[in-house]
Homo-oligomer: A and B are copies of this chain.
């Protein structure tokens, strides 16, 4: 479901547990997200976009442009 997030994580050689630690959630919860079993909360997408240096729009497949606009705040 969230193939793009999975691929970006693997590209960076990160495990689901490492992602979960960064996000401060359980590994199984993160797995549920990647699989699409659970909806990824906005706050989580926000942190993932920062980590991967991309946009939420890219993460959720609204665009194919990976580079984000200038980050605010």
By a beta-carbon cutoff of 8 Å, the part of chain A in contact with chain B is 39-42, 45-46, 49, 55-58, 60-65, 68-73
Contact = CB atoms under 8 A, between A and B. Distances in A.
B68 A57 contact: yes
29 contacts: A39-B42, A40-B42, A42-B42, A42-B45, A42-B60, A46-B60, A46-B62, A49-B57, A55-B55, A55-B56, A55-B57, A55-B62, A55-B63, A55-B69, A56-B62, A57-B57, A61-B72, A61-B73, A62-B68, A62-B69, A62-B71, A63-B68, A63-B69, A63-B70, A63-B71, A64-B69, A64-B72, A65-B69, A69-B69
A62 B55 CA distance: 8
